Amino acid sequence: MQMTRSKWFLPAFAVALGAAMFAAELAGGSLAGALGTFGVMLAFALLVLLGGRSETVRGLRGDGRDERFRQLDVNATAFAGLAVIVAIIVAFLVEVARGHDGQPYSWLGAVGGLAYIAAVVVLRLRG
């Protein structure tokens, strides 16, 4: 799967996500948290937008994607997914060991597992 997008997509997405985080933090009563999270996302957006000739920043932004960058993206996504799955499993086990029901980690793990199974089935049928 290949997504074609402009160099403005990731910075705009980061700012929009920062605005959503700002609103959520503000709704939760934390002005400092709201300003901090929006500041981090704005800094990331500026880094990506103004990253210049950095090949890594261009790869994150989606500029000049070649086969090598597509493979790096797939590997990075798999690594990030594995890290999240391990964190969810550990958090679930900690919650159960504390005598709780494991929520919300049980449903997060279920979503991840079902998404993996669905992807294997779909990719297997396609190719």
Is the model's pLDDT at 85 over the cut of 80? yes
Nearest-angstrom CA–CA distance, 112 and 115: 5
* Domain ranges across the chain: 1-65, 66-127
Q: Using one digit for the tens of pLDDT, what is the confidence trace for 111-126? A: 999 999 999 999 999 9
Is the model's pLDDT at 4 over the cut of 60? no
pLDDT at 65: 65
Which residue stretches of 1-104 are H helix? 9-27, 31-49, 55-61, 67-97
Q: Using one digit for the tens of pLDDT, what is the confidence trace for 34-83? A: 999 999 999 999 998 888 777 777 777 766 567 888 888 889 889 999 99
**C-alpha distances out from residue 54 to 4, 12, 61, 70, 104, Å:** 19, 19, 11, 17, 39
